[in-house]
Homo-oligomer: A and B are copies of this chain.
């Protein structure tokens, strides 16, 4: 984790937000970022339902991707708006970039709640705490402060946000605190196994693509590097096409996993590493960037063969640096 320094005034700030949300007249709009993920949808829907339970006039402006639509009812959606009415409060969740807030203008009284360290703290009240695993974890705390009784309807999206941002309690951001909060949410009657099943559903096209990707599996440098690429001609949504590095990274013995796919006139390379090897170093050598365990690069104007050639060279350098070769 980079920059996950807790905000020492987190509790104090969140308490003020809770008091203000209970006090404000006029409608409260809840919004999140474009291309919303599970945390964006889960945290915003959870807060929306909690405010409704409080009797507030709340509106949820969001368009969940297909795999998250099971969380909401048709009548809960508010379509995108050009302007907010006078006296509106806008709560923006999980949105590190104010220019990427979806469906609403940044107008009225703006409250910004997010766990991304890069959030510039826009808005009138900003609670930004990168030590939190998910914005949904912050919404859990906020709903507690609002004093709303936890129900399955409110807890389910909030827990979903935590589940998706922690990789179902697998990533390093899964703190004891996260598990304790999840335990409380679960106690409200959330059907955990049903949610986790639903989050894993994939289209027939995904499975066919996975088979095609695995058929390209290659091991290099005595198995230290595992590679695969997306063959051309597969009809696959963008959100699915990028995820395969998360499958091949579990190849035993490999300390680097690289997944390649054509993108425009170039090749996009997704990298994962472990065991003292830096995916970031490899990505930097390829003109990209990222974090030590997860990084990527886009090689412009090259074909797959050339991309593989450069990748193998960059990986060899990094394996030498790390003492493997």
Contacts and interface: CB of A to CB of B under 8 A. Distances in A.
Interface of A: 168-172, 174-180, 182-184, 186-187, 192-193, 196-197, 200-204, 207-208, 210-211, 214-215, 217, 219, 223, 226, 248, 250-253, 274
B204 A211 contact: no
A183 B176 contact: yes
Given A208-B214, A211-B217, A250 B202 contact: yes
Contact of A179 (B168, B182, B203): B182
Closest 7 CB pairs of A and B: A211-B214, A179-B183, A170-B196, A176-B187, A176-B183, A172-B193, A201-B252
A182 B175 CA distance: 10
Contact of A248 (B203, B207, B248): B207
Contacts of A200: 250
Contacts of A187: 176
Nearest to A66: B252
A204 B192 contact: no
Contact of A251 (B196, B204, B248, B252): B204
A252 B70 CA distance: 13
Given A170-B192, A172-B193, A186-B175, A252 B204 contact: yes
A208 B253 CA distance: 15
Contacts of A204: 217, 219, 223, 226, 251-253
Contacts of A171: 193
